[in-house]
Amino acid sequence: MYDTVIIGGGASGIFSAINAARRGKSVLLCERLSRVGKKILSTGNGRCNISNQNITQERYHGTSPLFSASALTSFSAYDTVSFFESIGLSVCEGENGKLYPKSLQATSVLDLMRLELARLGVSETVDCFIKKIEKIKEGFKLTSEDNRVFSAKKVILATGGKAAPSMGTDGNGYALVSCLGHTIIKPFPSLVQVKTQPPMRALKGVKHHGEITVYIDNKPKRTESGEILFTDYGVSGPPVFNLSRFASKGITDGRDVTFKLNLFPEFSEDSLSSFLKERRRTLPHLTGENFLCGLLPKLLAREVLKISKSDKDLPRFLTALPLTVTGVMPWANAQVTAGGIATNEVNPKTMESLLVPGLFFCGEVLDIDGDCGGYNLQWAWSSAYVAAQNI
Ligand SMILES: Cc1cc2nc3c(=O)[nH]c(=O)nc-3n(C[C@H](O)[C@H](O)[C@H](O)COP(=O)(O)OP(=O)(O)OC[C@H]3O[C@@H](n4cnc5c(N)ncnc54)[C@H](O)[C@@H]3O)c2cc1C
Give the pLDDT band (50/70/90) at residue 202.
Answer: confident
Share of the chain above pLDDT 90, in %: 95
pLDDT at position 198 is 76
Say if 50 falls within a structural domain: yes
Residues 30 and 171 in one domain: yes
pLDDT at 310: 82
- Of the pLDDT bands very low, low, confident and very high (cuts 50, 70, 90), residue 309 is confident
Q: For residue 308, what pLDDT is reported?
A: 87
Using a 6 Å cutoff on CB, does residue 80 contact ligand 1?
no
Query: Taking residues 235-261, what's their average pLDDT?
Result: 96
Instruction: Say if residue 311 is in the same domain as residue 343.
Output: no
On the question of pLDDT at 6 being above 90, the answer is: yes
Q: Which domain holds residue 42?
A: 2-188+338-390
Q: Which of 29, 34, 43 to mutate to test the pocket of ligand 1 (most atoms within 8 A of CB)?
A: 43
Going by C-beta distance under 8 Å and a sequence separation of 6 or more, which residues neighbour residue 159? 7, 8, 169, 172, 173, 176, 365
Q: Judge if the beta carbon of residue 160 lies within 6 A of ligand 1.
A: yes
Determine which residue's CA is closest to atom 46 belonging to ligand 1.
168
Decide: 124 in ligand 1 pocket, CB within 6 A.
Answer: no
Band (104; pLDDT cuts 50, 70, 90): very high
Whole-number Å distance between alpha carbons of 313 and 210: 19
If you average pLDDT over residues 345-361, what whole number do you get? 98
CA of 344 to the centre of ligand 1 (A): 23
| pTM: predicted TM-score of the whole model, two decimal places | 0.95
Q: Is residue 208 part of a domain?
A: yes
Mean pLDDT computed over 280-306: 92
What is the Å distance from ligand 1's center to 336 Cα? 8
Tell me, letter by letter, the H, E, C secondary structure of 133-156: EEEECCEEEEEECCCCEEEEEEEE
Q: Is residue 333 part of a domain?
A: no
Q: Does 351 contact ligand 1 (Cβ within 6 A)?
A: no
Backbone angles phi, psi at 18, to 5 degrees: -60, -45
From residue 234, give the alpha-carbon distance in Å to each of 221, 240, 298.
19, 10, 18
Per-residue confidence (pLDDT) for residue 199, from 0 to 100? 72
Domain identity same for 79 and 106: yes
- According to the model, what pLDDT value does residue 201 have? 84
Other beta carbons within 10 angstroms of residue 330's beta carbon come to 12
Is 189's C-beta closer than 6 angstroms to any atom of ligand 1? no
pLDDT exceeds cutoff 90 at 14: yes
Q: Is the CB of 267 under 6 A from ligand 1?
A: no
Terminal-residue alpha carbon distance, the chain: 15
Place 147 in a pLDDT band, splitting at 50, 70 and 90. Answer: very high
Task: Determine the average pLDDT of the residues in 41-47.
Answer: 97
CA-334 nearest atom, ligand 1: 53
Nearest CA to ligand 1 atom 45: 8
Give the pLDDT of residue 288. Answer: 85
Q: Ligand 1 within 6 A of 9 CB?
A: yes
Residue 175: its pLDDT value, please?
96
Ligand 1 geometric centre to CA of 371 (Å) = 15
- Does a structural domain hold residue 230? yes
Inform me whether the pLDDT recorded for 11 exceeds 80. Answer: yes
In a domain, residue 137? The reply is yes
Q: Find the CATH number of the domain harbouring 56.
A: 3.50.50.60
**Can you spell out the DSSP letters for 63-125?**
SSGGGGHHHHHHS-HHHHHHHHHHTT--EEE-GGGEEEETT--HHHHHHHHHHHHHHTT-EEE
218 and 124 in a common domain: no
Ligand 1 centroid–CA 39 distance in Å is 5
278 CA to centre of ligand 1 in angstroms: 52
Question: What's the domain count of the chain?
Answer: 2
Same-domain check for residues 149 and 228 = no
Beta partners for residue 140, in sequence order: 135, 152
The chain-wide mean pLDDT, for the chain, equals 96
Residue 200 has pLDDT above 90, yes or no: no
Claim to verify: residue 285 and residue 317 sit in the same structural domain: yes
Shared domain check, 163 and 24: yes
Where does the pLDDT of residue 203 fall: very low under 50, low under 70, confident under 90, or very high at 90 and above?
very high
Over residues 225-236, the mean pLDDT reads: 95
Whether residue 87 is found in the same domain as residue 182: yes
Domain's final residue, options 277, 295, 328 = 328
* Top mutation candidate among 117, 376, 381 for ligand 1, by most atoms within 8 Å of CB: 376
